[in-house]
Amino acid sequence: MTSELQVVVVGGGECGARVAHDLATSDLDARVVLVGREARAPYERPPLSKSVLVDDDPRPVEPYRDGRLDVERLEVLAGRTATSLDLEGRTVELDDGTRLGFDRLVLATGAQPRLLPGLPAAALTLRTFEDALVLRDALQPGAHLLVVGAGLVGLEVAASARTRGAQVTVVEAAERALGRAVPHPVARVLVERHEAEGVDLRLGTTVASASAGSGGWRVELSDGTSLAPDVVLQAVGSVPEVGLARDAGLEVDDGVVVDAAMRTSARGVWAAGDCCAGPVAVLGRRQRLESWRMAHDQAAVAAASVRGEEVSITAVPWFWSDQYDLSLQVSGMAAAATRWVERPRPDGTVVHLGLDADGVLVCAAGAGRAAVAKDVRMAERLVAAGARPDPDQLADPAVQLRSLLS
Ligand SMILES: Cc1cc2nc3c(=O)[nH]c(=O)nc-3n(C[C@H](O)[C@H](O)[C@H](O)COP(=O)(O)OP(=O)(O)OC[C@H]3O[C@@H](n4cnc5c(N)ncnc54)[C@H](O)[C@@H]3O)c2cc1C
């Protein structure tokens, strides 16, 4: 007879792999089963729109190298999908009919690309390593790629495609690229770079109609022009994978709803990563966050909470993007800012610092060569501290950001 707990983690992505590893190597007396739909070891998604599209011999980058998922109390079931949850009976059913009993359950099911109604099924999407290989094959020099959506993934793919010598058109329904997650002047830096690289970027433009047949693609745009691209990528955001949770009666609202300890509305069930929506302190409300580092931060909090520790997520959201030799860095939440301060850097780039209505620093963002990251990282410490810095000092490059921490 064993008192060992059974913990099931559904979703073998960035977040699920970390939760499972954390729990299996902790002092919790538990056996951990990680169920992942993809028939390969967990890997990181950020390279899919970057190095995987341009490198000669792309390989999946594993979040845990050196077999770190190969730990004694962890069983990895790859290529298996959880199809239903029985919260009363405490079981998860898999697509091969197996029922896994659990004492505690973590949902880390991620997200799927949002599909644009009206686009033929031949339009590609990018979420998995296999998707990236298909796209990579299509990006031959001279091929014409149409990207629908000027968000992070769309613009990263545009940069990679130009690097590969493909011709690129990007259409974006909004009047600006990168939505509200990136302050407008920072987005402009990237837009100007894409234009300088020869990307035909059409803002305020939609696909009016599209067909894909034996004669290839025919796309009519809302600006009255028509295109005949060789390949079309739809990159219009993602939808959280919440089917299991919703069918089991968990609260869902653009993501599985969680509290600050990543607990769902059901006892003994947690959710973390791209599939969940929880409180974001700097924003003052609930939001689904989709970023690599947040997947780590939430995994750590979920694992601690599963172990019974009193924890809550305090991490400041941060994401980056690489396009050409430019790095975009955003800490905090641009949507929380009501006023922006510009802080010039010696290399000519500008860090934009967002303050809320109470003067609290809530966002720092910049795009440029790697050095911009240094200021954004330092400003993130001010965001984390809830600092109310003097805007004139923030704007003055002679004033060290570190000095404003005190
Ligand atoms: C192309 C691309 C580029 C990105 N670039 C950046 C970047 O530059 N910077 C950044 O900060 N973030 C980036 N991200 C975002 C980052 O990769 C995600 O935030 C992160 O992968 C989220 O991890 P996750 O584990 O929550 O979800 P995922 O990585 O999506 O993993 C979820 C896993 O769960 C599996 N699953 C779903 N349902 C089930 C089920 N019922 N049963 C079993 N398994 C299931 C899925 O198949 C998937 O493998 C990028 C994402 C993409 C797609």
Question: Which of the listed residues 53, 64, 274, 380 should we mutate to test ligand 1's pocket, taking the one with most ligand atoms within 8 A of CB?
Answer: 274
Sequence-distant (≥ 6) Cβ neighbours of residue 398 within 8 angstroms: none
Question: Which of the listed residues 8, 9, 10, 14 should we mutate to test ligand 1's pocket, taking the one with most ligand atoms within 8 A of CB?
Answer: 14
Tens digit of each residue's pLDDT, the chain (406 residues): 456 999 999 999 999 999 999 999 999 999 999 999 999 999 999 999 999 999 999 999 888 766 788 899 999 999 999 999 999 999 999 999 999 999 999 999 999 999 999 999 999 999 999 999 999 999 999 999 999 999 999 999 999 999 999 999 999 999 999 988 999 999 999 999 999 999 999 999 999 999 998 889 999 999 999 999 999 999 999 999 999 999 999 999 999 999 999 999 999 999 999 999 999 999 999 999 999 999 999 999 999 999 999 999 999 999 999 999 999 999 999 999 999 999 999 888 999 999 999 999 999 999 998 778 999 999 999 999 999 999 999 999 999 999 998 7
Centroid of ligand 1 to alpha carbon of 255 (angstroms): 14
Sequence-distant (≥ 6) Cβ neighbours of residue 318 within 8 angstroms: 291, 293, 294, 329, 330, 331, 332, 380
Residue type, 91: T
Q: If we measure between CA atoms, which residue out of 194, 190, 131 comes closest to residue 162?
A: 194
- Using one digit for the tens of pLDDT, what is the confidence trace for 121-167? 999 999 999 999 999 999 999 999 999 999 999 999 999 999 999 99
d(CA 80, CA 389): 50
**Ligand 1 nearest atom to the CA of residue 132, by list position:** 1
DSSP type of residue 383:
H
Report which protein residue has its CA nearest ligand 1's atom 53.
127
Centroid of ligand 1 to alpha carbon of 125 (angstroms): 13
How large a percentage of the chain has pLDDT more than 90?
Answer: 92
Tell me the backbone φ, ψ of residue 279, rounded to 5 degrees: -65, 135
**Ligand 1 nearest atom to the CA of residue 127, by list position:** 53
Verify whether ligand 1 is closer than 6 Å to residue 131 (CB atom).
no
Report which protein residue has its CA nearest ligand 1's atom 50.
46
> Can you give the three-state secondary structure of 209-226, one letter per residue?
EEEEECCEEEEEECCCCE
**Ligand 1 nearest atom to the CA of residue 110, by list position:** 27
Residue ranges and CATH numbers for the domains of the chain are 5-111+239-306 (3.50.50.60), 115-234 (3.50.50.60), 325-405 (3.30.390.30)
d(CA 36, CA 246): 19
**Ligand 1 nearest atom to the CA of residue 80, by list position:** 43
Verify whether ligand 1 is closer than 6 Å to residue 128 (CB atom).
no
- Using one digit for the tens of pLDDT, what is the confidence trace for 85-135? 999 999 999 999 999 999 999 999 999 999 999 999 999 999 999 999 999
d(CA 280, CA 298): 12
Report which protein residue has its CA nearest ligand 1's atom 26.
273
